């Protein structure tokens, strides 16, 4: 646990801020606390942002955040699935501590970072996807989708009632409502605003203007689309999240052309999946551009920390898969872009290892508020100068519980270090180990290799050290111990229409 005082943080930033455009130490110490605009999408893999990888799509507005701020390359979800990652972001805690290991409801009595930001004097607001079962707490204003929400004619509700936005697309509605909040917020205090998109979550339905463009495109295939899973454990062979076998007609929106079989059929499915997925991303990129324009128009850009992330990554045909859940890189990795002209040099790249539990401590540190000991993450503010403190974390712990679950993804836990990854599929007691330096695509499981045994032993020791340090006592390993109330329970019909 590391806490950092506001004074210490600002001094650190100033010391690392040699850039001409950044404030001097004197100005920093008297500077107003920054606004925070946290933008999160759902299931957006980093390799579908051109600032990370330009092969699939160009995202000029997202790239602007990287060009004018900091691009983080190693930010990881601790449980790569929607509801648990959202709970970790709000609480700064792992799933086994915050009580949200699967699709279960967040205890509404739980004190989250929203309460603490409000207590610190911030105006707090949340628009869009919540998906934590209970109503949001600690926000001065919120308007959210019930459960997952829908793409077209979306319903959103507040504590006063619900409203159906007929004829509109979810991404456009969330953008507009956020801009309205940016305009109507109280101007006498800083704001902490969360804009949380439904897109690009399955069933990948872009706005028609983006769908029309992307249906004409041919998307490059990933190198591992036809991964044969050699050397891997049973988990990859038994999953039901493959492009070849598990995409439904609802996913691809039309019948597979007659006569297509084998790899040609898989290739067609991949194209249909990715055309719509990337169409959704184009909508997100447009949304980010509009809110950045609004910050410019209000003269807020200089001292507003804008963060863009997603609740986890996603397989874009990588290893022949869609969806997330597995600890492999494409799913584990979260995009994370942070722009703050007053405190961060433009074009910074940060390779330090971060996790979703770090977000809440980061918000609090930016607000000059204390990070409570109950939070298991640490503030990322010491990284904003672009350097890495010598005592920064060099490994992270991961655990996925949802088994039995939607895609028959075997439950597992593991450790990722700067050079290796060790995954334990505990139900069958099977292991996978990867040398990420030599094998970044994670195709060769070296767990049984004689030459790898010193590395495997060290990784096992690190895995169980982290597990113990984080207090993971296996309390949710058995599905009978999962909390019972679902995060899908919110019935919009029970809400009166908004006046
Ligand atoms: Ca998600």
Residues with CB under 5 Å of ion ligand 1 are: 42-43, 82, 311
Angstrom distance (rounded) from CA 105 to CA 193:
22
pLDDT at 453 over 80: yes
Question: In angstroms, rounded to a whole number, what is the distance separating the alpha carbons of residues 405 and 370?
Answer: 38
Q: Is a pLDDT exceeding 80 seen at residue 25?
A: no
**Two tokens at 159?**
């504590």
pTM of the model: 0.94
483 versus 27: the higher-pLDDT residue is 483
Query: What is the distance in A from the centroid of ligand 1 to the CA of 81?
Result: 5
Task: Give the DSSP per-residue string, 165-220.
Answer: -TT-BHHHHHHHHHHHHHHHS-TTS-EEEEEE--TT-TT----HHHHHHHTT--PP
pLDDT 10s digits, 320-344: 999 999 999 999 999 999 999 999 9
CA of 86 to the centre of ligand 1 (A): 9
Mean pLDDT for the chain? Answer: 93
Sheet harboring 348-355: ordered strands across? Answer: 161-164, 155-158, 141-144, 123-128, 191-196, 35-41, 304-310, 333-339, 70-76, 348-355
43 Cα to the center of ligand 1, angstroms = 4
pLDDT score of 27 more than 50: no
- What are the tens digits of pLDDT across the range 103-119? 999 999 999 999 999 99
Q: Rounded mean pLDDT of 306-320?
A: 98
Answer yes or no: are the C-beta atoms of 485 and 103 closer than 8 Å.
no
The contacts of residue 190 (CB under 8 Å, 6+ apart) are 32, 33, 34, 35, 36, 121, 122, 123, 367
Q: How many angstroms separate the alpha carbon of residue 311 from the centre of ligand 1?
A: 5
What is the SS3 assignment for 295? helix
Q: For residues 362 and 117, what is the distance between their CA atoms, to the nearest angstrom?
A: 11
Write out pLDDT tens, residues 151-162: 999 999 998 889
CA distance 163 to 402: 32
Q: How confident is the model at residue 496 (pLDDT cuts 50, 70, 90)?
A: low
C-beta separation of 433 from 447 below 8 A: yes
Predicted confidence at residue 24, as pLDDT, reads 33
What pLDDT does 2 receive?
A: 42
Q: Which domains does the chain have, with CATH numbers?
A: 32-391 (3.40.720.10)
Q: What is the pLDDT of residue 18?
A: 34
User: Quick one: average pLDDT of 445-467?
Assistant: 98
CA–CA dist 127, 178 (Å, integer): 6
Distance 200 CA to ligand 1 centre (A): 9
- More confident position, 120 or 489: 120
For residue 456, give the nearest of 423, 407, 429 by alpha carbon: 423
Lowest average pLDDT, out of 9-13, 37-41, 107-111, 175-179, goes to 9-13
**How large is the average pLDDT for residues 451-474?**
98
CA distance 44 to 460: 31
Two structure tokens written together for 207: 């706005």
- The answer to whether residue 5 scores a pLDDT higher than 50 is no
Give me the pLDDT at residue 492, please.
53
* Strand order across the beta sheet in which 412-417 lies: 395-400, 412-417, 420-425, 430-435
CA of 201 to the centre of ligand 1 (A): 7
**Alpha carbon of 8 to ligand 1 centroid (Å):** 35
* Separation of CA 280 and ligand 1 centre (Å): 14
First and final C-alpha spacing in the chain: 47
235-294 pLDDT, tens digit each: 999 999 999 999 999 999 999 999 999 999 999 999 999 999 999 999 999 999 999 999
What length does the chain have?
499
Judge whether 304 and 340 are in contact, CB under 8 Å.
yes
């Amino acid at each position: 646990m590391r806490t950092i005082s506001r004074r210490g943080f600002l001094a650190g930033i100033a010391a690392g801020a040699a850039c001409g455009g950044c404030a001097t130490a004197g100005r920093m110490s008297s500077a107003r606390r920054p606004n925070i605009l946290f933008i999160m999408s759902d299931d957006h893999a980093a390799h579908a942002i051109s600032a990370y990888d330009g092969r699939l799509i160009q995202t000029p507005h997202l790239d602007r955040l990287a060009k004018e701020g900091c691009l983080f390359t190693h930010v990881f979800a601790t449980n790569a699935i929607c509801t648990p990652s959202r709970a970790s972001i709000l609480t700064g805690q792992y799933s086994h501590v915050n009580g949200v290991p699967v699709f279960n409801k967040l205890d509404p009595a739980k004190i989250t970072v929203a309460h603490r930001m409000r207590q610190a004097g911030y105006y707090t607001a949340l628009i869009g996807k919540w998906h934590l079962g209970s109503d949001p707490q600690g926000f001065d204003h919120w308007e959210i989708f019930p459960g997952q929400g829908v793409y077209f004619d979306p319903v959103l509700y507040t504590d006063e009632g619900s409203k159906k936005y007929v004829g509109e697309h979810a991404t456009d509605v969330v953008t507009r409502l956020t801009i309205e909040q940016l305009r109507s917020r109280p101007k006498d205090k800083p704001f902490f605003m969360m804009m949380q998109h439904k897109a690009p979550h399955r069933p990948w339905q872009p706005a028609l203007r983006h769908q029309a463009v992307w249906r004409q495109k041919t998307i490059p295939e990933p190198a591992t689309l036809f991964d044969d899973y050699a050397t891997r454990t049973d988990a990859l062979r038994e999953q039901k999240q493959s492009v070849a076998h598990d995409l439904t007609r609802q996913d691809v929106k039309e019948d597979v052309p007659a006569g297509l079989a084998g790899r040609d059929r898989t290739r067609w499915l991949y194209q249909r999946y990715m055309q719509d997925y990337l169409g959704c991303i184009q909508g997100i990129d447009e949304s980010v551009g509009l809110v950045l324009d609004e910050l410019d128009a209000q003269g807020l850009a200089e001292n507003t920390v804008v963060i863009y992330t997603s609740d986890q990554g996603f397989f874009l045909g990588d290893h022949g898969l869609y969806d997330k859940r597995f600890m492999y890189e494409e799913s584990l990795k979260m995009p994370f872009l942070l722009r703050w002209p007053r405190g961060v040099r433009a074009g910074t790249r940060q390779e330090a290892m971060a996790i979703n539990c770090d977000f809440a401590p980061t918000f609090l540190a930016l607000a000059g508020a204390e990070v409570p000991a109950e939070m298991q993450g640490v503030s990322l503010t010491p990284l904003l100068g672009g350097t890495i403190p010598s005592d920064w974390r060099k490994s992270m712990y991961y655990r996925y519980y949802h088994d039995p679950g939607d895609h028959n993804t075997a439950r597992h836990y593991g450790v990722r270090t700067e050079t290796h990854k060790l995954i334990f599929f505990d139900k069958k007691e099977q292991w996978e180990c990867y040398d990420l330096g030599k094998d970044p695509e994670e195709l060769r499981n070296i767990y049984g290799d004689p030459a790898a045994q010193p590395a495997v032993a060290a990784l096992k020791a690190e895995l169980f050290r982290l597990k113990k340090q984080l207090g993971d006592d296996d309390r949710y390993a058995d599905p009978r111990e999962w909390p019972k109330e679902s995060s899908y329970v919110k019935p919009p019909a029970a809400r009166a229409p908004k006046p």
